[in-house]
């Protein structure tokens, strides 16, 4: 009886509501967000491209704006999420997350536009990672990121009545690639481009490879970007410590197979193109732009400790700067930051302290006046190059950045683990170690977390980690100078000139240039002796003669390997020492070289991974050295 009464009461209530059990819902079909008291208007538009594809675009216009410039960012990281208000009617609360220099945008009164790129989140079309440009062998269509930039800007200046018809484009990382794409065939309304930490050449030294060595810790990014339109299918590791995760798989190719990556188009391309062939060359934006006329002022922004894209900004600068005949079109900013840290408070980098908030200083004194000059016509006092000088921890102004073409001063690796500017007096001599793929040298201490940007993840700062963690390993050579009595300043790219042999038929070479702090540092107990890496990088030996045609190494034959370390603007202070470390693995950041030449390391088998004896020449006519760009 009670049950029947309860059912009757429920049905009566449902009938009173006007619905049925199958269709009634307390929620509206589509809620409309109120904007009472907001100081900006939010508009969402799907902008049509020349092929009919529509790109999802969020437009934030300050209330009362008139004759305002437009700042555009194109992103694969969800335009809606980057412009969703956080319980406040202020424009600043609608601009958060990756790629927003909020203080500059809000204070400057800009119309802010953020757009999902083709094939991501709300935008139509297909997604291709680092899509090749129209006219290259890899893109037979008539659309690319450059045409999408052009069509978007064209729509904006024709439809945003509150604008002054001037557009700037800026972004970080993948979003930093888009301001470069906009320069290919720039729209007349595009007045300035700001690529920050841009992805430029994924094989030479940005996200996917460094000098041929594969950065396998980016595999989760490939999965999450391409598995779904909205990044809703996560990559799930079976280990908290990803050292175990990668070691148990063996090769990166085997791990990709286990994790389902062979469904993903870009992963298939990586497997098919391990060398620097046409696939990668067609995507090298620095080389492409170097062939085009310079029409739009550009500010390239580089982080001196960029753990993801350490190559692109300066490679593009080297390609564009020679075209800037009046020294007023190509600008460069270099800060003591990790990837994207320029839009944050940035008074530290890991354990390093700069004594100032370098991010806020740069945005206020460089980015804001630069944008205002080209988008509003206000005067500016921004040098062609603004670079932070670590060591002295001061900002410096330059008319240009060194072209880095010279030999520099030779810092010799010497017998007895010594390091100095005078060559060794003895005959030919080597420093030896055994490299064992079963026990690779780590890029940071275990447990090693996956790539992440939450507050507790060490990934953003690992390039500033203390290198003492590996300096005493028997498979790491460590060379140290005498204590400096005078400051030594370098500006440019240190060049590695390593002469070495291996008992195997392939080998990786990792070289680190390190500033060793005094044994005791006043006010910082425990910091004495800190080994701070000024620059580090890796080179895969099979590409010694050609990046596009790998060749086996001749066992036990001394061969020269020449490659650049990331750019530095640093002063080694009196009381400090200079150190160079050499090793043959950097795991699990990079996949292990089996040290046996195989056609494709992605498919290396367990039996291919062998120990190898490595010998580095430290005396004689072919003595190894680092060519330092010393500034007198």
Whether residue 9 is contained in a domain is answered as: no
Q: Which among 398, 433, 448 is the end of a domain?
A: 398
Whether residue 12 is contained in a domain is answered as: no
DSSP codes, 359-403: HHHHIIIIIHHHHHHHHH-------SEEEEEBTTTEEEEESS---
Q: Which among 376, 398, 420 is the end of a domain?
A: 398
State mean pLDDT over 518-523. 95
| Percent of the residues in the chain that have a pLDDT greater than 90, as a whole number | 90
Residue 407 banded pLDDT, cuts 50, 70, 90: confident
Residue 16: what pLDDT?
Answer: 53
Domain shared by 193 and 270, yes or no: no
Q: Do residues 82 and 75 make contact, with C-beta atoms less than 8 angstroms apart?
A: yes
Residue 15: what pLDDT?
Answer: 54
Question: What domain count does the chain have?
Answer: 3
State mean pLDDT over 542-559. 98
Task: Check which CATH number belongs to the domain holding 582 and give it.
Answer: 2.60.120.260
Q: Do residues 514 and 532 make contact, with C-beta atoms less than 8 angstroms apart?
A: yes
Domain shared by 597 and 514, yes or no: yes
State mean pLDDT over 372-387. 98
Q: Is the confidence at residue 483, as pLDDT, over 60?
A: yes
Q: What mean pLDDT, rounded, does the chain reach? A: 95
Residue 18: what pLDDT?
Answer: 53
Whether residue 483 is contained in a domain is answered as: yes
Residue 404: what pLDDT?
Answer: 65
Nearest one of 328, 336, 327 to 362, comparing CA atoms: 336
Distance CA 207, CA 310 (A): 9
Burial class (CB in 10 A: 0-12, 13-18, 19+), 420: middle
Domain shared by 219 and 351, yes or no: no
Q: Is the confidence at residue 4, as pLDDT, over 60?
A: no
Residue 13: what pLDDT?
Answer: 53
Residue 22: what pLDDT?
Answer: 75
Residue 12: what pLDDT?
Answer: 53
Residue 453 banded pLDDT, cuts 50, 70, 90: confident
Domain shared by 504 and 435, yes or no: yes
Q: Is the confidence at residue 34, as pLDDT, over 90?
A: no
Domain shared by 312 and 434, yes or no: no
Length, in residues, of the chain: 632
- Backbone φ and ψ of 234, nearest 5°: -75, 155
Domain shared by 331 and 464, yes or no: no
Domain shared by 119 and 266, yes or no: no
Whether residue 16 is contained in a domain is answered as: no
State mean pLDDT over 95-120. 94
Residue 569: what pLDDT?
Answer: 98
User: What is the tens place of the pLDDT at every residue in 585-631?
Assistant: 999 999 999 999 999 999 999 999 999 999 999 999 999 999 999 99
Task: Check which CATH number belongs to the domain holding 315 and give it.
Answer: 3.40.50.1820
Burial class (CB in 10 A: 0-12, 13-18, 19+), 34: exposed
What is the CA 284 to chain-centroid distance, rounded?
A: 15
- Backbone φ and ψ of 628, nearest 5°: -90, 135
Q: Which of 9-18, 50-59, 529-538 has the lowest mean pLDDT?
A: 9-18
User: What is the tens place of the pLDDT at every residue in 246-305?
Assistant: 999 999 999 999 999 999 999 999 999 999 999 999 999 999 999 999 999 999 999 999
State mean pLDDT over 480-507. 98
Q: Which of 432-441, 446-455, 546-555 has the lowest mean pLDDT?
A: 446-455
**Residue 465 contacts by C-beta under 8 Å, 6 or more apart in sequence?**
350, 444, 445, 458, 533
Distance CA 399, CA 385 (A): 6
**Residue 37 contacts by C-beta under 8 Å, 6 or more apart in sequence?**
89
Look up the pTM and report it: 0.95
Domain shared by 304 and 362, yes or no: yes
Residue 59: what pLDDT?
Answer: 98
Domain holding 369, by residue range, is 40-203+281-398
Q: Which among 234, 250, 280 is the end of a domain?
A: 280
Q: Are strands 409-414 and 418-420 parallel, antiparallel or unpaired?
A: antiparallel
Domain shared by 510 and 613, yes or no: yes
User: What is the tens place of the pLDDT at every residue in 177-195?
Assistant: 999 999 999 999 999 999 9
Domain shared by 495 and 428, yes or no: yes
Residue 53: what pLDDT?
Answer: 98
State mean pLDDT over 42-53. 97
Residue 86: what pLDDT?
Answer: 84
User: What is the tens place of the pLDDT at every residue in 302-317?
Assistant: 999 999 999 999 999 9
Residue 246: what pLDDT?
Answer: 97
Whether residue 111 is contained in a domain is answered as: yes
Whether residue 217 is contained in a domain is answered as: yes
Q: Do residues 395 and 461 make contact, with C-beta atoms less than 8 angstroms apart?
A: no
């Amino acid at each position: 009886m009670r049950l029947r009464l309860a059912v009757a009461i429920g049905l009566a209530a449902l009938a009173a509501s006007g619905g049925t059990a199958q269709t009634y819902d307390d929620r509206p079909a589509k809620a409309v967000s109120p904007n009472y008291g907001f100081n900006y208007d939010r508009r969402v538009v799907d902008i049509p491209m020349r092929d009919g594809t529509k790109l999802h675009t969020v437009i934030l216009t300050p209330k009362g704006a008139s004759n305002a410039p437009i700042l555009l960012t194109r992103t694969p990281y969800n335009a809606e999420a980057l412009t969703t208000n956080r319980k406040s009617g202020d424009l600043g609360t609608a601009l958060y997350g990756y790629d927003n220099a909020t203080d500059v945008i809000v204070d400057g009164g800009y119309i802010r536009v953020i757009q999902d790129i083709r094939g991501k989140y709300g935008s139509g079309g297909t997604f291709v990672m680092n899509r090749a440009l129209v006219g290259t062998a890899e893109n037979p269509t008539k659309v690319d990121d450059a045409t999408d930039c052009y069509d978007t800007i064209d729509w904006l200046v024709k439809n945003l009545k509150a604008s002054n018809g001037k557009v700037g484009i800026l972004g970080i990382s993948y979003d930093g690639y888009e301001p470069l794409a906009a320069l290919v065939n720039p729209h007349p309304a595009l007045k300035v481009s700001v690529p920050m930490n841009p992805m430029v050449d994924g094989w030479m030294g940005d996200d996917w490879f460094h000098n041929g060595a594969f950065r396998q810790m980016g595999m989760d990014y490939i999965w999450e970007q391409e598995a779904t339109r909205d990044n809703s299918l996560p990559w799930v590791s079976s280990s908290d410590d990803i050292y175990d995760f990668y070691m148990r798989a063996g090769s990166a190719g085997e791990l990709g197979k286990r994790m389902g990556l062979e469904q993903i188009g870009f992963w298939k391309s990586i497997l098919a193109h391990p060398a620097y062939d046409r696939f990668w060359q067609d995507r090298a934006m620095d080389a492409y732009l170097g062939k085009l006329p310079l029409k739009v002022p550009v500010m390239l922004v580089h982080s001196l400790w960029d753990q993801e894209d350490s190559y692109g900004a300066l490679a593009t600068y080297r390609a564009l700067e020679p075209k800037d005949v009046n020294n007023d079109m190509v600008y460069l900013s270099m800060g003591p930051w990790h990837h994207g840290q320029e839009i944050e408070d940035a008074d530290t980098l890991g354990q390093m302290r700069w004594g100032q908030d370098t991010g806020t200083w740069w945005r206020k004194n460089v980015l804001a006046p630069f944008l205002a000059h080209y988008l509003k016509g206000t005067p500016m006092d921004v040098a062609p190059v603004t670079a932070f000088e670590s060591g002295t921890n001061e900002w410096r102004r330059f008319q240009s950045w060194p072209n880095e073409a010279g030999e520099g001063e030779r810092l010799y690796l010497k017998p007895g683990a010594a390091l100095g500017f005078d060559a060794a007096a003895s005959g030919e001599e080597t420093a030896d170690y055994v490299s064992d793929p079963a026990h690779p040298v780590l890029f940071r201490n275990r447990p090693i977390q996956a790539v992440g940007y939450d507050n507790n993840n060490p990934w953003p700062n690992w390039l500033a980690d203390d290198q003492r963690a590996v300096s005493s390993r028997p498979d790491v050579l460590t060379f140290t100078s005498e204590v400096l009595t005078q400051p030594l300043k370098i500006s440019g790219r240190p060049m590695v000139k390593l002469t070495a042999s291996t008992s195997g038929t392939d080998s990786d070479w990792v070289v680190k240039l390190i500033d060793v702090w005094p044994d005791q540092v006043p006010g910082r107990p425990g910091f004495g002796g800190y080994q701070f890496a000024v620059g580090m990088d890796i080179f895969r030996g099979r590409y010694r003669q050609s990046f596009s045609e790998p060749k086996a190494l001749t066992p036990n034959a001394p061969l020269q390997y020449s490659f650049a370390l990331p750019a530095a603007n640093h002063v080694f202070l009196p009381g400090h020492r200079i150190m160079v470390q050499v090793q043959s693995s950097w795991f699990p950041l990079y996949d292990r070289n089996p040290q046996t030449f195989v056609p494709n390391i992605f498919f290396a088998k367990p039996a291919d991974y062998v120990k190898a004896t490595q010998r580095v020449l430290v005396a004689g006519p072919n003595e190894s050295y680092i060519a330092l760009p010393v500034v007198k």
